[in-house]
Amino acid sequence: MEAGSEPLPLDILITNVVCVFRVRCHLDLRHIALKGANVMYKRDEGKVVMKLRRPRVTATIWSSGKIISTGATSEDEAKIGARKCARCLQKLGFQVRFGAFRVVNVLAVCSMPFEIRLPDFTKQQRPLASYEPELHPAVNFKIKPLTASMQIFSTGSITITGLQNSCSPPSLIFPHPKPRSLLPR
Amino acid sequence: MTVTPARGPHPVTKIYCPSHPDAVLVEDYRAGDMICPECGLVVGDRMIDVGSEWRTFSNDHVGKDPSRVGDAQNPLLNGGDLSTVIGKGTGAASFDEFGNSKYQNRRAMTSQDRAMLTAFREINTMADRINLPRNIVDRTNNLFKQVYEQRCLKGRSNDAIASACLYIACRQEGVPRTFKEICAVSRISKKEIGRCFKLILKALETSVDLITTGDFMSRFCSNLGLPKAVQIAATHIARRAVDLDLVPGRSPISVAAAAIYMASQASADKRTQKEIGDIAGVADVTIRQSYRLLYFKAAELFPPDFKFDTPVDKLPQL
C-alpha cells in the first residue's frame, strides 16, 4: 500500500461480506416464524429474517430455499454464519443440504491520513471519477481492473464496495495515490 | 460572366465569380442576382427565392394557411419522414349521407414520434417556467432524442428523462440550474432526476463540468434584489473560500448561499438566512453551518475595495 513517495500504513477494514447459499429444499416460512428463535417474519415480502449473535450475521430466508447472509466481517465468518443458519433450519425439521455458497459482495472501509480536495481529484481522474455535490458529498471512483467502486469523502474516508473477494483490496486498489491532492494544514 | 460549373474546393455553391473564386457571393433578393462582393460582378441571375410566398401571422388562424409548403417540420427530431398523406376530399362525392367524409384518414404518427412530441412539449413547458432560452431547449430536445433512440433508459418515465436532459443541457451550456430548481418545474422527485442524470451520462458517454459557486451568483443575487457590488463581493467570498479550502465537502450551492449571506450582511441590503435559503433551495441550518466555516476568515474573504456598511467584526455570529 504505497502512497507514491513515502509508504503509508493503511488499514483496509472489511466491514461487510454478503453471500448467498442454498439449502436445497423448500422451506415453510410460517413454520420457521412460529418455531424459530431470533426471526422476523416479513409476510408482505415473503421472507424471514434470522439474526445470529455469533458470528453477527443477518440471514434473509426465502421459501425457495435461497438464503442471503449479510453482516459478517470476513469470508470465513460468513461461511460459519451460513452454516449456523442452515443448522438452525435443520433443527426446525427441514431436510437441509448446504450448497452453492458464494460470496457476492465485500464492503471495506479505509481512511486516508490526509484530506482530499474533491473537485481537483475529479478533474484529474475524469472518466473514472464522478462527483455530484448536490446528490452525494463523495466522489464515486471506479477501480479499473476490478469492477469495484470507491466512495471518497473529503475527510479522507473511503468506502469500497463491489469487491468479489477480500483478497484483492490491497494490491489493486491503490495504484493512484499520487494524483490525490494532499491538503497542507 | 458565364456561369462556370463547380470544381475542386467549392462543394457548396455551384457558381462563383471568375475573377474571385474564393469570394462568397451575396444574394440580392430584389433582383434575384448573386453578386460578387469584391468586384460587383453579377454572377448568377434569375435565382429562385426559396423564402415563403406570403406572410402568415400566428394570430391569423382563419382556416386556411396560404403557404403551399406546409409547416416547418422538425426533421432532425421527428424521424423526418417525407411521407405524404391523402388529403381531405372537396367535392360532393367524398361525403356520405350524414356529412362525414368517406375517407377518414386520421392516421396518427408512430407511437415513438408521439412520445417524443409529448416529451418535447413537456420540455418546452418546463423551460418556459424558468425562462430558459431557446438554445437550451434545443439542446435538451437533442439530448432527449439521443437518449430515446438508444433505448437504454426505456423503463424510466419520459418526464424523468426529460427533466434530467434539461438539467444536463443547462450544465452543458455553462448556466447550470440546481436539481432543486429543475424539481420545482417538474413533477419528478430529485432522487429520480439524479438517477436518470447519472444513467444518461453513462448512456451517452459524456461528462459534465463540475459546478462552481460563481455559476449561481448572478441568478440568486438578482432574485434577492441585491445590488451589483454585493454580488461581486459574494462571488469573491465564495471563490476565496473554495481556494482556501475553508469548506471541504460542502456543496457549492451551500457555500454560495453562505457567501451571499455574509456579503449582504456586510452591506446596506441585508437579507435573512431564510430568504436566501428560499431562493437557493438550501436549508437555513445549512447556510448557518457553511457561514460558521466562513466566519473565521471573514476579513480575508472580502474583496479589497468593498464598502462595508457593517464592519467585519460586527458581522452576525451564528
Confidence of residue A92 (pLDDT cuts 50, 70, 90): very high
Cell numbers of B90, please?
Answer: 372537396
At residue B26, the pLDDT reads 86
Region B195-216: mean pLDDT is 91
Alpha-carbon span B139 to A39, nearest angstrom = 54
- B243 and chain A in contact, CB less than 8 A: no
Which 3 state secondary structure label does DSSP give A25? coil
Mutate to test the interface with B, among A135, A136, A139 (most CBs of B within 10 A): A135
Least confident stretch, B85-89, B112-116, B260-264, B288-292: B85-89
> Model's pTM, two decimal places?
0.77
Region B164-185: mean pLDDT is 94
Look at residue B294 and tell me whether its pLDDT is greater than 80: yes
Cα torsion B35, B38, B41, B45 to 10°: value is -10
At residue B102, the pLDDT reads 73
For residue A142, list chain B residues with Cβ-Cβ distance below 8 A: none
For residue A115, list chain B residues with Cβ-Cβ distance below 8 A: 248
Confidence of residue B71 (pLDDT cuts 50, 70, 90): low
Least confident stretch, B120-124, B227-231, B306-310: B306-310
Residues A105-159 have pLDDT tens digits of: 999 998 888 888 888 888 888 888 889 999 999 999 888 777 888 899 999 899 9
Look at residue A1 and tell me whether its pLDDT is greater than 50: no
Percent of chain A with pLDDT over 70: 85
Q: What interface predicted TM-score (ipTM) does this complex get?
A: 0.78
Better pLDDT: B45 or A66 = A66
Percent of chain B with pLDDT over 90: 46
For residue B245, list chain A residues with Cβ-Cβ distance below 8 A: 117, 183
- Among B194, B210, B245, beta carbon nearest to A135: B194
Look at residue B40 and tell me whether its pLDDT is greater than 70: yes
Residue B161 C-alpha from the chain's centroid: 15
Amino acid at residue number A94: F
Confidence of residue B68 (pLDDT cuts 50, 70, 90): low
Look at residue B179 and tell me whether its pLDDT is greater than 90: yes
Look at residue B73 and tell me whether its pLDDT is greater than 70: no
Better pLDDT: B67 or B252 = B252
Mutate to test the interface with A, among B210, B242, B282 (most CBs of A within 10 A): B210
Residues B275-284 have pLDDT tens digits of: 999 999 999 8
The residue of chain A nearest to residue B179, with distances taken between CA atoms, is A134
| Three-class HEC string of chain B | CCCCCCCCCCCCCCCCCCCCCCCCCEEECCCCEEECCCCCCEEECCCCCCCCCCCCCCCCCCCCCCCCCCCCCCCCCCCCCCCCCCCCCCCHHHECCCCCECCCCCCCCCHHHHHHHHHHHHHHHHHHHCCCCHHHHHHHHHHHHHHHHHCCCCCCCHHHHHHHHHHHHHHHCCCCCCHHHHHHHCCCCHHHHHHHHHHHHHHHCCCCCCCCCHHHHHHHHHHHCCCHHHHHHHHHHHHHHHHCCCCCCCCHHHHHHHHHHHHHHHCCCCCCHHHHHHHHCCCHHHHHHHHHHHHCCHHHHCCCCCCCCCCHHHCCCC
- Among A130, A133, A155, beta carbon nearest to B251: A133
Confidence of residue A162 (pLDDT cuts 50, 70, 90): confident
At residue B88, the pLDDT reads 73
Distance from CA of A184 to the nearest CA of B (A): 10
Region A163-177: mean pLDDT is 64
Which 3 state secondary structure label does DSSP give A102? strand
CB pair distance less than 8 Å for A134 and B207 = no
Q: How many residues are listed for chain B in this entry?
A: 318
Mean of the per-residue pLDDT values for chain A?
85
Cβ A178 vs Cβ A4: under 8 Å:
yes
Q: How many CB atoms lie within 10 A of CB B303?
A: 15
Confidence of residue A81 (pLDDT cuts 50, 70, 90): very high
Region B62-91: mean pLDDT is 67
Q: At what angle do helices B252-266 and B228-243 cross, to 10 degrees?
A: 130
Cβ A157 vs Cβ A111: under 8 Å:
yes
Cα torsion B72, B74, B78, B81 to 10°: value is 50
CB pair distance less than 8 Å for B253 and A130 = no
Least confident stretch, A3-12, A61-70, B85-94, B241-250: A3-12
Look at residue A180 and tell me whether its pLDDT is greater than 70: no
Look at residue A184 and tell me whether its pLDDT is greater than 80: no
